Structure 1
């Protein structure tokens, strides 16, 4: 089968590789759609932290935002999965440790991460092996585009839940990228008043095109009932703490390449609850349900769908003018 393989910093190619065979407890999915995110771009550039900690090494087969159809099942897997449209959890815990037993498999010390950690192959390929326990069935109303947005949507949903807001309350989302915009869409669907903060008017103009008229390069002075930092700016976490109303919640889901500093005295003196969100684990079903019901439609976030042969261009940050300013690019491995 064809798969996109990153062989080193700035080097990648579409290769013919052996198709996966399902092991016990696994299925093989025919990939319909896969999303490209900042983590994938860091693997391509060589900046990804896991490459320096030993949790990942080249060659890497990326792709953890995906949707597809179950085509094979291994021993011990219910054959009813065959032919079902699915997505799945990126985080694959060992299933034996205390964290996995407590439902925190996404924090398992020995976990694999699809397309990211431990060498588990990703979804920028025609077929993908996945443990059946990680599968999330997709409703009929969730097409391949929406299906590949369930994983980032699950991240965003967990961030919105952690913000702990009631309808009518004010939320500031720092960073109008894919996760920030998904969080904004989910919060708005719950009746929250959403404000977005970004650096570039180009990205803020796109946010305004989605109906978010409160989009700023400088936030209003009045404190917010919650702040979600979905940016990669090292100064954003401190800004989030400064911008939140005392006694409320700040949610950190973005990651900076450089250490970001927060004065814990501010957290204490404002009695702020700070929450970190890692992964969509626990949020996949909720995101799929929001899409299926029509409460949230994230399809405008997808600028284009391209082939595996065009993935390297996308990972290098190149964009065609006709794609516009939407933040997400999808890959369809079935395209020639």
Structure 2
């Protein structure tokens, strides 16, 4: 089968590889749509932290935002999964440790991460092996575009839940990328007033096209009932702490390429609760429900759908003018 393979920093190609075989407890999914995200770009550039720690090494087959149809089922898997449309969790815990046993399998020290950690192949390929325990069925109302947005949506939903807001309260989202915009859309669906802080007028103009009228390129001041930092700026955590009302929540979901600095004395004196969100685990089912019900429609966030052969240029930061300013690029591995 065809798969997109990153062979080294800045080097990638579409290769013919052996198709996966469903091991016991696993299925093989025919991939219909996969998303490309910032983590994938970091693997391509060589900046990804796992490449330094040895948790990932080249060659890497990326792709952890996906949707498809189950085509093979291994021993011990209910045959009823065959033919079902699905997406799934990126984080594959060992299933035996205390963290997995307590529902924290996404923090398992020995976890695989699809397309990212310890060599589990990703979804930028015609077929993908997945443990059946990681699958989430998709209803008819959730098409492949929405299905491939479930994983980033699960991250965003967990961030919104961690913000602990009531309808009518004020949320500041720092970073109008895919996760930030998904969090903003989900918060609005809950009756929250959302404002967005970004670096460029162009990114904020796109946010306004989605209906967000309160946008800023400079910090808007204090008093927000919660702040979600979905940016990759090392100074954003401190801005989040400045903006949040005392006694409320700051949620960190963005990752900077360099260490961020935060004065914990100010956090203590403001009695702020800080929450870190690592993955979509725990938010997948809720995201599927939001998409299926129509409460949240993230389709406008997808700028284009490309073939496997176009992925390397996307990861290098090249965009066609006709794609506009939507932040997400999707891949259909079936395209020639």
Q: Please classify the TM superposition score into its range, dividing by the shorter chain length.
A: over 0.9
Aligned residue for 1:260?
260
| 1:163 matched to 2:163 | yes
Between the aligned partners of 2:137 and 2:143, the Cα distance in structure 1 is: 12
Aligned residue for 1:226?
226
Between the aligned partners of 1:22 and 1:220, the Cα distance in structure 2 is: 52
| 1:13 matched to 2:26 | no
Query: How many Å apart are 1:220 and its aligned residue?
Result: 2.3
Between the aligned partners of 1:43 and 1:255, the Cα distance in structure 2 is: 14
Between the aligned partners of 1:101 and 1:36, the Cα distance in structure 2 is: 31
Aligned residue for 1:299?
299
| 1:102 matched to 2:105 | no
Query: How many Å apart are 1:80 and its aligned residue?
Result: 0.4
Q: Which secondary structure state, in structure 1, belongs to the residue aligned with residue 115 of structure 2?
A: coil
Aligned residue for 2:202?
202
**In the TM superposition, what are the counterparts of 1:16-31 in structure 2 within 5 Å?**
16-31=16-31
CA deviations over 1:25-60 (Å, ceiling 9, x no partner): 000000000000000000100000000000000000
Q: Which secondary structure state, in structure 2, belongs to the residue aligned with residue 162 of structure 1?
A: helix
Give ranges in structure 2 of 5+ residues lacking alignment.
none
Between the aligned partners of 1:136 and 1:312, the Cα distance in structure 2 is: 29
Aligned residue for 2:80?
80
Query: How many Å apart are 1:303 and its aligned residue?
Result: 0.1
Aligned residue for 1:115?
115
Aligned residue for 2:65?
65
**In the TM superposition, what are the counterparts of 1:119-130 in structure 2 within 5 Å?**
119-130=119-130
CA deviations over 1:6-34 (Å, ceiling 9, x no partner): 00001000000000001000000000000
Aligned residue for 2:46?
46
Q: Which secondary structure state, in structure 1, belongs to the residue aligned with residue 317 of structure 2?
A: coil
Between the aligned partners of 1:267 and 1:92, the Cα distance in structure 2 is: 34
Query: How many Å apart are 1:160 and its aligned residue?
Result: 0.0
Taking structure 2 as the reference length, the TM-score comes to 1.00
Q: Which secondary structure state, in structure 1, belongs to the residue aligned with residue 41 of structure 2?
A: helix
Query: How many Å apart are 1:61 and its aligned residue?
Result: 0.1
Aligned residue for 1:286?
286
Query: How many Å apart are 1:222 and its aligned residue?
Result: 3.9
Aligned residue for 2:177?
177
Query: How many Å apart are 1:223 and its aligned residue?
Result: 1.3
Taking structure 1 as the reference length, the TM-score comes to 1.00
Query: How many Å apart are 1:72 and its aligned residue?
Result: 0.2
**In the TM superposition, what are the counterparts of 1:179-194 in structure 2 within 5 Å?**
179-194=179-194
CA deviations over 1:235-256 (Å, ceiling 9, x no partner): 0001101110000000000000
Give ranges in structure 1 of 5+ residues lacking alignment.
none
Count of residues in correspondence between the two structures: 336
Query: How many Å apart are 1:218 and its aligned residue?
Result: 1.6
Between the aligned partners of 2:61 and 2:201, the Cα distance in structure 1 is: 34
Between the aligned partners of 2:134 and 2:44, the Cα distance in structure 1 is: 26
Between the aligned partners of 1:217 and 1:224, the Cα distance in structure 2 is: 16
Q: Which secondary structure state, in structure 2, belongs to the residue aligned with residue 34 of structure 1?
A: strand
* Runs of 4+ in structure 1 over 4 Å off: none
Query: How many Å apart are 1:230 and its aligned residue?
Result: 0.1
| 1:277 matched to 2:277 | yes
Query: How many Å apart are 1:159 and its aligned residue?
Result: 0.1
